[in-house]
Chain A
Amino acid sequence: MTSAEYERERAEVEKTWAEKPGWLGQLMVVNHRTVALRYLVTTFVFFLLAGLMAAAMRLQLARADNDLIGPDLYNQLFSMHGSVMMFLFAVPVLEAMGIYLVPLMVGARNIAFPRLNAFSYWVFLFGGLMIFIAFALDIGPEAGWFSYVPLAGPEFSPGKRQDFWAQLITFTELSALIVSVEIIVTAFKLRTPGMTLKRIPLFVWAQVATAFMVLFAMPAVMLGSSFLISDRLVGTHFFNPAEGGDALLWQHLFWFFGHPEVYIIFVPALGIVSEIVAAFTRRAVFGYLPVVLSLLATAILSFGLWVHHMFTTGLPPAGMSFFTAASLLIAIPTGVQIFCWIATFATGGRLRFHTPLLFVVGFFFIFIIGGLTGVMVASATLDSQFHDSYFVVAHLHYVLIGGALFPLVGGIYYWFPKMTGRMLSERAGRWQFWLFFIGFNVTFFPMHILGIEGMTRRIYTYSASSGWEGLNQLATGGALMIAASVVVLIANIISSLRKARTAGDNPWDAPGLEWATSSPPPPSNFVRPLVVTSRTPLWVTPHPETVIGLPTGIRSVLVTRVHDAEPHHISVFPTPSIWPFLSAIAVTILFIGSIFTPWALVWGAVPVAIGLIGWFWPTKEETATHCKYEVKPPREAPPPSEPAELRL
């Protein structure tokens, strides 16, 4: 095939996969990268807002008996900070990395179920806007991100504040479940030919493990929040001990989700670490199989730990010992991965110390402390002292910031050139790293000591006689350094976006398929599906073989078999559509309406039904295309007119 023919094919594929122009076209987008970038920007804005709330709390706590912020606002601030960071930042931002990268890494042209993907973003956005608008109107949540009953129940939290919290959960869980389904199907069915199970990039394995955790964990909290909202809205008594309900039922439901939640945030970040370590040591991560098995083991074990959040509720001792042992057990797969990365450093090529790697090294220094304090709080005996004290505040920030945010920021520096075609400044990156690393430790290390000295969580003030003032001042100083590092990151991104696109396809000389296409990639990611023969395809050859013969005039996607990624059939992917956006609005009306009246479930179902009918209404043209390319003709019938044969 001549290059002129190739160019013609490229132009035609690009035209087929292009989004619709205009503002209406913006609402119809189904491209996974556009949706992912929207997710990334949205979650980053939510992160900044929740970070400002943390800064406000640190200012209040900088002095004993301070009266800068009263209890009403303070309780809303920490409830918002926790809920937003968990539900509107940490989980979705790592999912957004998955939405962007998983299809690219497995060589697919789009994510599976692209319209559903667009729908998930709109639902997420509307849920996030709802909670911030509620907070701005002084009806933000006030019972913590964990909303323990009976405090969050109808008797002790009158008004609508906790109802907004419960519906925030419904919104974010819905979008998270949708994304999980897409990630699993994309990783299992849309892999490019040759990408067998043992050649799947580690980041993709991490995303798959996370997606399965979401599928099993989220229903528990959705059930819990539905019980809560029914207790509050229609007077059921699921959690009311006076009527035969049980206050601890909520804790079981919440933590059955809440503990896997930590790993839902942390496991994708492990995937980022693996990708960055491989690229900068110029070798595939040592111990592919143990690392993959560790990811899966973490996902499974994470469901056996939830009671370690309830060690002080007076549960029977046998149960406590079981959950102590299970909680210690999960340190093993994480340890194995750390050892494998160290072995990779020890046996790789010459290290290139760019900013992404710097953040990964920072991850080791901080996260291991969080892991070790995790071993301490896993002990039921010790937890009776640590539980609900600032020791746990320190522990969880070491785990989540060290374990997830450092790799994430490293990942942003690493994939930014792919997403935008531009490099971020290395110099600013180093400044940001050191400000963040030092500021983080100055903020959170003293909290270990404060916890041991008896400072409890979620207090808006403390007396001067407690002796906690000095370390609290230190922590507030560190928080300001973290704020400065975030400002450097924003400045770095803005100044880099104003420069020319000079990054090239593969600025880091990295091995993954996402680096085989242009930066940013064309609408279909790849002009033709690539063929993979190794775990590190671009180190074998910078220009892998391609699959030819896919129809160009329709959105054709090659579906392969789960285990060996042999081509199976062609699937015709959906085109841009306004229905996901309209359906998301209908769902939003139903969810927000049901905060105020149970009848919203009845009448709100009507617009949702209309939205879904519009979404799935079959057109003759679409059905004809599907029949032509997707339905296998009977043996004796002549082959379809357009050749769908595959030549590898």
Chain B
Amino acid sequence: MHSALQPVGPRAELIADLMLLFFAVSAVVYVIVIAFLVWAIMRARERAVQLGPAATAQADRKSKVAVGVGAALTVLTLAGLAASDFIVGAILRQPPADPLRVLVTGHQFWWEIEYDDPVPGNRLRTANELHIPVGRPVQLIFTSRDVIHSFWIPSAMGKMDLIPGRTTNEIIQVSQPGTFTGQCAEFCGFQHSKMRLTLHARPAEEFDAWRQRQLAPAREPQTQEARRGQQVFMQSSCILCHSVQGTAAAATVAPDLTHIASRRTIAAGSLPNTPSALASWVLDPQRIKPGSRMPASRLPPDDLSALVAYLTSLQ
């Protein structure tokens, strides 16, 4: 279960605490107002058909005080809630020390993730899986290549929109290792539903090791079949959109496949990353994710299995 009320980091915890405060205050207010309503209705069921003008005038004097007190309490409650919102907001806006910088670009219907680094050769591009070190704040810098998307991992952070022509940013910090799910929150077209992502938080050493592995160029195919698969890849329409570092494939329209075999899911969280799922995805993406930008490929069966062998070798 991944819930905004089961936070896994200090920032999400603050928001969750604020949420619980608002829930508690609201519950008290609801009970009080409904109690007064029920009391007033019960009283009115056993009364004379119509009160005289004198009795009404006397009752109205009391009502005036009651409504005034009610309005004053409303103002005070709202002021308290506003103050708590401002305080939490101010804490969350404090710039973190030494954050890891990650650029997230929205695409119909997947997430491009790029780890920033002063050395261009150390910049790392991947897709749909955000890996972060536990405990260290990560500054996410968002933009979009097409329409508006919104990045949301409920247990770790609130939403932030990805808007074409603008950059926005938000900080994410997780204090326990684990895998957490999220998905696009701003309606972005046909496959808004299947624009999902996962957050992998792991201890700093493990994260560094992962990063080093991901920076390496793609492994040369080892088996005969995988070599043939590489040929299929290079000679078909795949390379018009995808890139595999260390080969001639360098397009940036679609997810980088250099280490596709290391990911747990494909098609932005739509399918598990298994050879059979990969094969059915390559063959006919529109059946699995209608409206996806990936076209169907008409590969003969042996080309397809060779291609899948190549892709699964890209650890």
Contacts and interface: CB of A to CB of B under 8 A. Distances in A.
B216 interface: no
Residue among B75, B78, B165, B187 with most chain A CB within 10 A: B187
Given A350-B47, A453-B1, A461-B193, A380 B33 contact: no
Contacts of B81: 328, 375, 379
A384 B170 CA distance: 11
A339 B70 contact: yes
Residue among A156, A339, A368, A388 with most chain B CB within 10 A: A339
Interface stretch (A50-58, A144-152, A596-604): A144-152
A374 to B, nearest CB: 10
B190 A72 contact: yes
A151 B2 CA distance: 29
B163 A381 contact: no
Contact of A457 (B164, B187, B189): B187
Interface stretch (A241-249, A499-507, A521-529): A241-249
Contact of A313 (B70, B164, B168): B168
Given A150-B147, A151-B187, A70 B290 contact: yes
A494 interface: no
Contacts of B67: 286-287, 290, 336, 339-340, 343
A369 B29 CA distance: 10
A338 interface: yes
B48 interface: yes
A372 interface: yes
Given A375-B22, A384-B15, A369 B30 contact: yes
B74 A331 contact: yes
A375 B26 contact: yes
Given A343-B66, A379-B81, A452-B4, A388 B18 contact: no
B71 A332 contact: yes
B253 interface: no
Interface string B177-210: 0000111111111111110100000000000000
A283 B78 contact: no
B71 A151 contact: no
Interface residues of A, number: 81
B148 A388 contact: no
B49 interface: yes
A335 B190 CA distance: 41
Given A320-B89, A348-B44, A156 B146 contact: yes
A347 B187 contact: no
B131 interface: no
A385 interface: yes
Interface in B227-258: none
B37 interface: yes
Interface string A447-458: 000001110111
Given A148-B148, A452-B5, A454-B154, A247 B163 contact: yes
A461 B49 CA distance: 56
B276 interface: no
A381 B18 contact: yes
Nearest to A144: B187
B18 A453 contact: no
Interface string B102-123: 0000001000000000000000
Contacts of A508: none
Contacts of B184: 456
Contacts of B71: 332, 335-336, 339
A269 B70 CA distance: 22
Contacts of A462: 193
Nearest to A71: B190
Contacts of B142: 314
Interface string B64-103: 1011001100110010011001101100110000000000
B313 interface: no
A381 to B, nearest CB: 5
A314 B161 contact: yes
Nearest to A153: B147
Contacts of A150: 146-148, 164
A342 B40 contact: yes
Nearest to B87: A381
B26 A376 contact: yes
B169 A314 contact: yes
B37 A372 contact: no
Interface in A346-384: 346-351, 353, 361, 364-365, 368-369, 372-373, 375-376, 379-384
A312 B48 CA distance: 55
A387 interface: yes
Contact of A351 (B41, B88, B154): B41
Contacts of A192: none
Contacts of A372: 26, 29-30
Interface of B: 1-5, 15, 18-19, 22-23, 26, 29-30, 33-34, 36-37, 39-41, 43-51, 56, 59-60, 62-64, 66-67, 70-71, 74-75, 78, 81-82, 85-86, 88-89, 92-93, 108, 142, 146-148, 150, 152, 154-155, 157-161, 163-166, 168-169, 181-194, 196, 269, 290-291
Given A454-B152, A461-B193, 18 more contacts: A143-B187, A148-B147, A148-B186, A151-B188, A283-B56, A312-B160, A312-B185, A313-B163, A314-B163, A328-B82, A342-B40, A347-B59, A364-B34, A365-B34, A380-B85, A380-B89, A381-B89, A382-B22
5 cross-chain pairs, A with B, having the tightest CB-CB distances, nearest first: A241-B165, A384-B158, A314-B168, A459-B193, A343-B63
